[in-house]
Structures are given as C-alpha cells and as structure tokens.
Chain A
C-alpha cells in the first residue's frame, strides 16, 4: 500500500513537473511561418497540407503557422502576413512571394528581427535583392525548363507555321516570365508563331476572359499555352463556350487535382508537375537545419534546384 502511495505521489510530481515544463519546451521549438500566395489555388492548398503533415510528424522539432492571401495579386495582404509572422516571433519564414520590390522593406524588417528567410515557388527578383544587398535562397525548379517540356510536347501536335497564344501569370513575376520563355523557346524551335502574350493574372475567371478575346482576335490560333492550371481551366471554359470546341489545344502548368479529368478526356493536352508540396517541405527542412547549425542568412547557399516533370495523361 505504501509502495502504491509512493508510486502515485511520485507520478503526480513527475506529471506536475512535465506540465510546468510543457510551455517552456513549446517555446523552445522554433516557430516556422509559411506564407503563400492565393489559398484559393489548389497548388498552394496542397503545399499547405504537405507542410502540416510534415509538422505533425516533427511536432517535437518546430511549430508551424500557415497563411495565404485570398487572391494572387494581394501584395498588401502578403505584407500583413509577414508582419504577423514577425509579431509571432517566428524564427523561419518560408515565402512564396507575390512579387519582389514591394516586399523588400518587410523582408528587411523580418531579417532584422532575427528570422531566416527561404524563398519558394516564385523566385524573388535578383535585381531588387542585389540593390537591397540581400541573400534570400531560392528552393525551387526551373520554370523555364518545365514550360519547355510542356511546350515541346504540344509542338509535336502542331505543325510549322501554326499560330498559338500564351496566357501568362502576373507579368512581373519571375516564374511567369520563365514559363513564358520556356513556351516561347519550344515554339520558336519548331517555327510555330506566338501571335500574342497576355496576362491572365494566374486566375481562372481572368484567363477565361482573356482566352475568349484572344480566340476572337486571332481566329487562326491553334493552341493556348497557359502559365498555370487555374488559367488553363479558364481557357478550356472559353474554348468550350465558343465555336471552336475540340479544335483548340490547351496546356497548363502545376498538375493540380482539378485538371485530372481534363487531362484524361483530352480537353487539356499537358501540364508540368513541379512537386509543389515537396518544395514547401524542403524549404522548411533547409531552414530548420540552418537554424540548428546557426548559419547566418548571408551565408545560406543561394539556390537549391528541385525537379519538374511533364504530365500528359
């Protein structure tokens, strides 16, 4: 009986000790802030899900806050999210930026707070980083190479002299420009004419509007090359609601779940998978390792390239 009492009292003491230590241990775990672009985009939803799953598996190593903006162009909203990460005393920011120059002041503020920053998805513009004297590593693929894979696949279905149009993302974004460049290179190599490049702002509704206008303005267009799958969905909708249903090829980029059925029935010819979910996780892992090893922001390896592959079925 005495032994049982002793055991229970010791157990209570240990539990109390552990309970009192709990918050301190939690506070010791670094807070990671993952800041995305549009949370309406399945691509970022997948990234967020993968990051949360990674945190659950590594709950003893870090805490995670995930946030994003309602649409692809809300720069002010993204600045607020970074401010919130600073206020929450995050130690690591993994950022998929909307654009570069307007974010530079808040990035500087985040770095001054002692935070490490890793850039994923859309590379921050080197010109602005160089002017600001910042080293922000980029973990991601060559969007140009990915778009070229898609473009080369499409070119096999076209013939020399055919006309195509490109619907790109936000024209100032590095990944939008890179994808457009990849598409262009494929088309130029096979002597296919790019008659127009217009922005669909990464979004379905805008891309549908742009695609409809392009098909009217350029009636000989044989294909629409879209900088992401959301815009490709808009382009498919425009084709289906017009008089050229089944005659226009559409390609996208990202391989989001929403386009699986379109790929299967041929409404979408191809897309590229750049393993977005893994990108966020790798950004987090790189950042956590750097925190653990006390590597300063300026000493981080500036670029880590990740894979990208063609999806045509």
Chain B
C-alpha cells in the first residue's frame, strides 16, 4: 500500500512539475540566469592560471555557446563533485565528461565534444615488450577511473589501482608508485610541461568526452547546445583559439581523424 502511495505522490508531483515548468522557464528566461557549465581540471585543455580559467576547452565552448545566444558561466570543479551537482542542480551542465552508463538514466548526454584515447604508458625503456592489455598481468597497474577502461579490464578479469585524476598519474609513474599507467592524456601534449621519460606502449581503448546536462534543462537550451556542439570543441571557427594555445596540430589531427568520419 505504501508503494502505491509513493507512486501516486510521485505522479502528483510529476504533474505539478509538468505544469509548473513552463512558468519556471518563462521566469528563468526573464531573469536570464546564465547556464552553469562545470568542467574538471584537464591540462592542457582546461586549467586554472592565477585563478583564471584557461585552456581551449572553456574558451571554445564560450565562443560557440555565445554564437547560439546562450549565456553561460564556466567553473572549474573536480569531476566527482561535478557529477553530484549535475544530478541535482537545475540549469547545470558538465563539459568534457566521460560517458557513464549509470549516469545516463539521470542526466542528459547532449553531444560528443572531444575524443578520448586511452594509452598504456611506462617509464622510458621499461616493459617495452608489452603490447596488449593481457600482458599487464603480474605488473602493478594504475589508471584513471573511467568506464571505458573498467570495461576493458573487467572483460579480462584484471584489476588496477584507480587514480582520482589523470593529471596526477605521470608524477606517480615517475615516482615508481606503479609499473604501468593507463591514462587518457598523450605525453606529446604534455611535453611542454617536462613530462619526459615516458613511453607510450599501446592504445588500450578509445571513446569520447561529452557535454552532459541536468535532466530538466529546457528543450530550447538543449537544441542550442546541440547546435553549438555539432563539431564538438573543434569547430572551424575555433581554430584561432587552438592556435593561441599552441595546440593547432592537435586540433587539425582531431578534425581529420575524429570529426570527419563522424560527419
């Protein structure tokens, strides 16, 4: 009986929300509250410098959102906290997040924004014979906490130490905290930050980074965001921003290898 009551309460509440939401949107539009866009620190694509949010991801997103007439407020925030916020707080989105099936039932994945290549890395000259995931058995392995990687390792019955953030991985690898790092940032990109002495062994898996939004976001905003993210964060109009960050080669590579086949 209590379940039935729960259900009826839920339905009554849903109806109230259904009929109230249009008014909320009208009031919201009148106040022009900017859409809150969270993203996790992800150098060299998104980082804080002297307290200022920098990197091609936030800058390109800002430009593309403005083109669609969207007012946004960008904010750098750790991914776990961002996911919790996203589930509950209206008018909130998370930029460049991983696709998490368990979250797909509670948030909206609006569109792909960037590719995700996960590689196995070792310290230079070590474990160079390792060419596939199954050869990692018996080694101490650490990796970032993302579903694509967990799926790949689960299917082989492999376990690995989970790292809270990919940016910490290289330092820990160089400090010999583990033998192999499974991560999604190419050391080529990080060479400028003196992350040398690392060897890329093989690609473990690949996927995408997404723009995800709270589930009650208005249909009009969803449409505008989808238009803005048509070419992810690699739209033709964003070339100058990528060049400014000296990542023009990466931008061109992604447009050629990731964006073109998807069209």
Contact = CB atoms under 8 A, between A and B. Distances in A.
A46 interface: no
Given A123-B104, A127-B109, A304 B14 contact: yes
B108 A303 contact: yes
A138 interface: yes
A158 interface: no
Contacts of A197: 154
Nearest to A188: B162
A243 B197 CA distance: 53
A162 to B, nearest CB: 16
A305 B219 contact: no
B104 A125 contact: yes
Contacts, number: 73
A174 B101 contact: yes
A302 interface: yes
A151 interface: no
Nearest to B8: A278
A177 B111 contact: no
Interface stretch (A2-10, A90-98, A139-147): A139-147
B59 to A, nearest CB: 24
Interface string A291-304: 00000000101111
Secondary structure type dominating chain A contacts: mixed
B222 interface: yes
B105 A178 contact: yes
Given A131-B262, A178-B102, A306-B10, A126 B109 contact: yes
Interface in B122-174: 147, 151, 154, 157
B105 A140 contact: yes
Contact of A126 (B7, B11, B104, B222): B104
Nearest to B213: A302
Contact of B3 (A177, A275, A282, A302): A275
Contacts of B6: 307, 309
A148 to B, nearest CB: 9
B215 A303 contact: yes
A190 interface: no
Interface string B108-120: 1111100000000
Contacts of B104: 123, 125-126, 174, 178
Interface in B209-225: 215, 219, 222
Interface string A135-167: 000101111110000000000000000000000
A138 B105 contact: yes
A146 to B, nearest CB: 10
A301 B221 CA distance: 12
A273 B151 CA distance: 27
Contacts of B215: 302-303, 305
Contacts of B208: 127
Contacts of A45: none
Given A302-B215, A309-B3, A178 B101 contact: yes
A130 interface: yes
B160 to A, nearest CB: 13
B99 interface: yes
A196 interface: yes
Contacts of A174: 101, 104-105
A182 interface: yes
Contacts of B109: 126-127, 130
A67 interface: no
Contacts of A309: 3, 6
Contacts of B102: 142-144, 177-178, 181-182
B234 to A, nearest CB: 16
Contacts of A123: 104-105
Nearest to A302: B108
B10 A143 contact: no
A20 B102 CA distance: 53
Contacts of A125: 101, 104
30 contacts: A123-B105, A125-B101, A125-B104, A126-B104, A127-B208, A131-B262, A138-B105, A140-B105, A141-B105, A142-B105, A142-B106, A143-B102, A144-B106, A174-B104, A175-B105, A177-B102, A177-B147, A178-B101, A178-B104, A181-B100, A196-B157, A197-B154, A275-B7, A299-B219, A302-B219, A305-B105, A305-B215, A306-B10, A307-B10, A309-B6
Interface of A: 123, 125-127, 130-131, 138, 140-145, 171, 174-175, 177-178, 181-182, 196-197, 273, 275, 278, 282, 299, 301-307, 309
Given A123-B105, A126-B99, A175-B105, 13 more contacts: A126-B104, A143-B102, A144-B103, A144-B106, A171-B151, A174-B105, A177-B101, A178-B101, A178-B102, A278-B7, A302-B219, A303-B215, A309-B3
Identify the 8 closest CB pairs spanning chains A and B, nearest first: A181-B102, A177-B101, A126-B109, A144-B102, A178-B102, A303-B215, A142-B105, A174-B101
